[in-house]
Structure 1
Amino acid sequence: MTDPNSSTERKSRAGNLADGVYQALRRAIIEQALAPGTKLPEDSVGESFGVSRTVVRSVLARLTVEGLVSQRPNKRAEVASPSLAEARGVFQVRRGLERTVIESLAGQLTAEQAGELRAHIAAEEQAHGRDGPESIRLSGDFHTLLASMTANELLIRYVQEVASRCSLILALYGRPHSSECSVNEHQAIIDALLRGDEATAVQLMDEHLMAVATRGLLDLKPARERDLKELLADYRGRLTAS
């Protein structure tokens, strides 16, 4: 029987807590609840989630590695604000990575994977016009779901990172766009993959990512200032519920 007070068990609980805060804070950034440039003082974030500054520091370091948070010496951490040049570079890398995903999956999807993709498309359609943040998250999740089906751990990690960064970029430079259009594009990609039509699937994915980049990278959108604890309140609720 495991001793709940043992050092191993305490480390496990601490690790789970840090991971929960990481997931919640990452989601708040991707769903654009936290706009680029939002300050992330360790004490305020810690109070929002009911955790120590040590936990917050480890979470912010993890998000910094992923490019979602910016930390400079003697400066407070903040949600990253990539430049236009950096943004274009991210989209360029993403196009290459997702081409590799398509080449790996064309004609190789199992019936179970096809069902999982169709279920995801159905969720995207339900979210259309109902919940902006959920629609944004599901749109990105489509790409990470595809990558996960390659079983290539390095490719999965890189696609997840660039997809997250692209969500951040669109929060900074994007314009309102039709999520329905994105859903239709996703469906067309799945259809080509299931037919084993690699050339068409690659073309569709590339056109899709170019369309996403075109919808963004245009006008800088000023964000309305809101209190950090107010912004994170809902995400703390999700943390306690999980």
Structure 2
Amino acid sequence: MEISSRSDIAYQALRRAIIEQALAPGTKLREDEIGAHFGISRTLVRAALMRLSQEGLVEIKRKRTATVAIPSLDEAREIFEVRHCLEQQIVQRLTAHWRPEMGETLEAHVNEEEAAAQRGDTASASRLAGEFHIVLARLAGNALLARYLSEVVSRCSLILAVYGRPHVAECATAEHRNVIAALRARDAAASISIMNEHLHAVEARALPRPQEAEDVRISDILARYSTAG
């Protein structure tokens, strides 16, 4: 096996481990340990980590210390804002250039999601749920859109790892089937609306709910202090 191939395998393995949340946010990624596992030099390990850093999945600090990235809440909200814009454009392109075989490709992918969920493989089900959107982007026929969305979807996996709440995998599967049905009808408005609903649901599962202000009675609080002295 060529050295470059081993380096790419290391990159792909690390990326998948991060996306499937096997490597949790904040985990230290030791160059010597990774290099020994894949049989590559630390220089090639650094190259793989740099690729992941450029995708927002790894943070490289001073002294070349690399860790799985921990997105802030502000970053998380910005990522979802960008994702909404990208996916709307993707859906518009798909409805304009729809072909029956696209539906078959998407259905096959959703079937994989469903199978993973049914056998209890939550890591694969979560990864496949994100990849559904990347498949959509590739089918839309714009390589740059697909590249940007791939990065955004990958970073959403980190957001889910840090802030997400447990949810039923079948929810995402059902939502994806609704998207496919709208695309098959070549109804751009309906497709965009359904995709937006789906992304809002994903965002709700990924981000914490804003804390609602409690209806506090000031007199009740002050009563605890009125006898002090």
What is the TM-score with the length of structure 1 in the denominator?
A: 0.83
* Gapped regions of structure 1 (runs ≥ 5): 1-9, 220-242
The answer on 1:104 being equivalent to 2:93 is yes
Secondary structure class of the residue paired with 2:63:
coil
Secondary structure class of the residue paired with 2:199:
helix
Give, in whole Å, the separation in 1 of the partners of 2:99 and 2:190: 19
* Gapped regions of structure 2 (runs ≥ 5): 210-229
- The match for 1:168 among 158, 172, 175 is 158
- The match for 2:12 among 5, 19, 23 is 23
**Larger mean Cα displacement after TM superposition, 189-198 or 42-51:** 42-51
Q: Report the equivalent of 2:147.
A: 157
- Structure number with greater Rg is 2
Query: Residue deviations 1:162-194, cap 9 Å, x none?
Result: 000001110111011111011110000010001
The size of the alignment, in residue pairs, is 208
Paired amino acid for 1:49: F
- The match for 1:65 among 51, 54, 57 is 54
Q: Report the equivalent of 1:92.
A: 81
- The match for 1:214 among 191, 204, 208 is 204
Give, in whole Å, the separation in 2 of the partners of 1:146 and 1:138: 12
What is the TM-score with the length of structure 2 in the denominator?
A: 0.87
Alignment of 1:93-242 (within 5 A): 93-129=82-118, 130-218=120-208
Moved over 4 A (4+): none
Q: Report the equivalent of 1:4.
A: none
Return the structure number with greater relative CO, CA threshold 8 A, min gap 6: 1
Secondary structure class of the residue paired with 1:38:
coil
- For the aligned residue pairs, the C-alpha RMSD in angstroms reads 1.4
Give, in whole Å, the separation in 1 of the partners of 2:184 and 2:203: 26
Task: Give the deviation of 1:107 after TM superposition.
Answer: 5.0
